[in-house]
Amino acid sequence: MAASFNNSSQTQGVSIITCTNRPNYIKNLFHNFARQSHTKKELIIVVNDSTVALSPYQQIANKHRNIQIYRMPEQVTLGACLNYAVSKTKYGIVAKFDDDDYYAPHYLSDSLKSLRRSNADIIGKRAHYMYLQGSKTLILRFPNDENRTVTMLPGATLIF
């Protein structure tokens, strides 16, 4: 089902979904959400581990609007967690964020423009930067696939 764009991309609501079992990335996750210039948004977090405390997530979530925290047992697959997160969204457009990645301030607004322009059911970014911690090197992966139709997309960049 293609997203409907009757309004400008800035008035279109976006539900950001994240499934995580890594509490050490909690600040990065919330910073990515807060950093987005697109204002009509919500964040759905599914903690996919029964042993990870929810209180740190809830404490940070209480400082923001439109954030929901859920838990699924660690036996539940990533796909099932993502489907659960989608079932909790209130907006017609969903963006998947990874907890350990960086999303620039205009990531959502630029992606919404691309989604509207392309009339595609799903978009993402095949060309992306990756930081190699061991060598402290920033690399651009798949530079020839920027701003074009491709057959594979990283899950961390999906918007539908």
Kindly give the pairing relationship between strand 137-141 and strand 128-132.
Answer: antiparallel
Q: Residue 126 phi/psi, 5° resolution?
A: -70, -45
Quote the pLDDT of residue 9: 56
* Lookup result for tokens 């090197």: 137
CA–CA gap between residue 61 and residue 152 (Å, rounded): 33
Helix (H) or strand (E) holding 93: strand 93-96
Start-to-end CA distance of the chain, whole Å, equals 9
Quote the pLDDT of residue 4: 46
Tokens representing residue 107 in the block: 């990531």
Quote the pLDDT of residue 147: 86
Quote the pLDDT of residue 2: 46
Quote the pLDDT of residue 148: 86
Quote the pLDDT of residue 77: 97
Quote the pLDDT of residue 112: 95
Segments in the chain below pLDDT 50: 1-7
Q: What pLDDT digit, counting tens, does each position of 115-132 carry?
A: 999 989 999 999 989 889
Please report, for the chain, the start and end positions of each structural domain, with discontinuous segments joined by +: 14-148
User: Is 137 exposed, middle or buried (CB count within 10 Å of its CB: 0-12, 13-18, 19+)?
Assistant: exposed
Kindly give the pairing relationship between strand 14-20 and strand 41-47.
Answer: parallel
Q: What is the pTM of this model?
A: 0.88
* 14-148: CATH superfamily: Spore Coat Polysaccharide Biosynthesis Protein SpsA; Chain A (3.90.550.10)
| Mean predicted lDDT score pLDDT of the chain | 92
